[in-house]
Structure 1
Amino acid sequence: MMYTRIFTLVVLLINLNLTLLSAQNDHLKGLTKVDLLQMPDVNIEPDKYPVYNTFGQKLTDVQVLQAMMSQKYLPDLYVDNNGDIKAIVLRPVSIEENISLKPIPEEIDNNSESFDALVKAMANPNLVEGSSAPDFEITDINGKKYSLQSLKGKVIVMNFWFTDCKPCKVEIPELNTLVEKYSAEDVVFLGFALDDNSKLDPFLEKTEFKYTMFPNSKNVADSYKISGYPTHVVIDKDSKIAFSTVSYSAITTLIIERNINKLLGKE
């Protein structure tokens, strides 16, 4: 009798596992896996193709970008009978693949010539280091007014972004860490969002962003000739452009921090 019960339990567990596995793969039914090398020009965009993890859970655009930037995952493409991509699965890299990848090192010699060259390549060509920063007068989401003139004597860290910008959202936790690190210093962190309050307020209710935030900042972005997002600009205590960088990378916050420290006399 006991053996019969054990056998029945085992059968039930096997059936349960098979059901779970089947549910996990429902999104891949009728699709064929193809090698990424066969379709090298494919961009992993959640807005264009549904992207899943290996458990069958659909990933958000931010989760996809974070996974790809970590270099710990690779995409498997699944196509229909016409060869059209219908799903992408991000899976952990194998040991062999990990060896072939060249991850960004955890410790970077930020005094090396190669590092300086990389920083230079990431800069906004429209913002000349040492030139006077364009003036601005703007009101934050709480109704407080700010201007470049009123902030003279402080290091100003500017972030130009908008709520639908995927890399902008990915870097927010790292930027919050910067704000915390320099909370006792003469450094102000200003977030210039392109969005109006109707879009910015609901976003900030769900996502903590510790920068002082300004809605409807397109005029400021235009005066700083911002051409890509996110863009970061650091202004020295004399209101001169000290540094800029366009787009998001794994070393963005590192190079922002390095420039803040230089202006504070910590390097």
Structure 2
Amino acid sequence: MLKNIFISLFILTIVYGCQKELKDSYKTAVFQQGFPEILKPLEKKLPFKIQNYSVLESNNDSIDIYIGFLNQGKQSGNWIALASKNQIKQFKTVDFKQNSENEKENDIDIEFNNSSNRISLRIKKLDTIENKITYSWINQSILTNSLTVLTIDKPLIKGKKFPTIELIDMNGEKFNLSNVKGQTIVLNWWAVWCAPCRKEIPGLNKLVRKYSDENVKFVSITDDSKEKVSSFLEENEFRYDITFIANNDRVFFGNSYPKNMVIDSTETITFFKEGGNENVWLEIDQHLSEVNNMK
């Protein structure tokens, strides 16, 4: 009896420790009004006005992450920047969902050094009343206390060779992209919970129908579970070949969705588009048409 009590207390201690660690991985930062000094060289080039900013606690002496609000006329939004050795290496606007239904919807990747390095973070809450932000760093989809810089040996960018990755199809069989060498491959990185991913699927289906007689292969890649995807497909059509990525290879795609790319017969990425919209299929269609005309 006493032994069982000790075992129960031990398990409770482990569970509490895990919950505390997850909770403690979130940090809070306060926004301050004005334009950060480090962005002054960009001030005249920006087509919008920066309202405020905050510097996130990274526990990294060589990298600083700035984040803030902006406005352009009556429109407002957010921006994020990465600085290394007091120089801006990356700056981009971002779209945060204030009332996100899924915790991953505000995951952000920031790539720099020609996309060979990446850091990731999750924005849990933006409090415009208290002027605060709650966030956590991400390392390979796991929340952490400190910023982690990942090195990507073969980054997914236009002009680079697509890396060898391990995929599994809906039947649990290995899906080898090398088996379709000589074909043009259109890839879509997506997730069931990702609203922009779902919005672009009808347009992507149009591509499959249009190029059904061409030497083009359409492949979707996800890190969602087979159960979630199967449930989604019961009510939604997705004409791409559905595949699931191995945990070791998801580092290539990062924590932001969706991504669309085209790979030619030499395994080179000829088209790359990050971020979704319902008309992205038109851009892919134009690229495929241009490729066909060059043959």
Write out per-residue CA displacement over residues 117-175 of structure 1, whole angstroms, 9 at most, x where no aligned residue. xxxxxxxx943323211012322103443223211100001100111101001111111
For the aligned residue pairs, the C-alpha RMSD in angstroms reads 3.3
TM-score, length-normalised on structure 1? 0.51
Q: Which residue is equivalent to 1:148?
A: 177
Does 1:189 find its partner at 2:218?
yes
Does 1:133 find its partner at 2:170?
no
Q: Is the 8 A contact 2:167 2:245 kept in 1?
A: no
Report the CA distance between 1:39 and its aligned residue: 9.9
Describe how 1:99-248 pairs up with structure 2 within 5 A: 126-222=155-251, 224-248=252-276
Distance 1:260 1:201, change over 3 A: same
Report the CA distance between 1:46 and its aligned residue: 8.6
Distance 1:47 1:262, change over 3 A: same
Report the CA distance between 1:216 and its aligned residue: 4.5
Report the CA distance between 1:233 and its aligned residue: 1.3
Distance of 2:159 and 2:185 partners within structure 1: 14
Match for 1:265: what amino acid? N
Distance 1:266 1:144, change over 3 A: farther
Write out per-residue CA displacement over residues 149-203 of structure 1, whole angstroms, 9 at most, x where no aligned residue. 2111000011001111010011111111111111111111111011111211111
Match for 1:174: what amino acid? G
Report the CA distance between 1:225 and its aligned residue: 3.9
Match for 1:230: what amino acid? P
Q: Is the 8 A contact 2:203 2:280 kept in 1?
A: no
Report the CA distance between 1:40 and its aligned residue: 5.0
In proportion to residue count, which structure has more strand?
2
Aligned residues: 158
Unpaired segments ≥5 residues, structure 2: 1-72, 79-94, 102-128, 130-153
Q: Is the 8 A contact 1:163 1:200 kept in 2?
A: yes
Report the CA distance between 1:257 and its aligned residue: 1.1
Which structure: larger Rg? 1
Describe how 1:30-49 pairs up with structure 2 within 5 A: 40=76, 47=99
In proportion to residue count, which structure has more helix?
1
Identity score, percent: 31
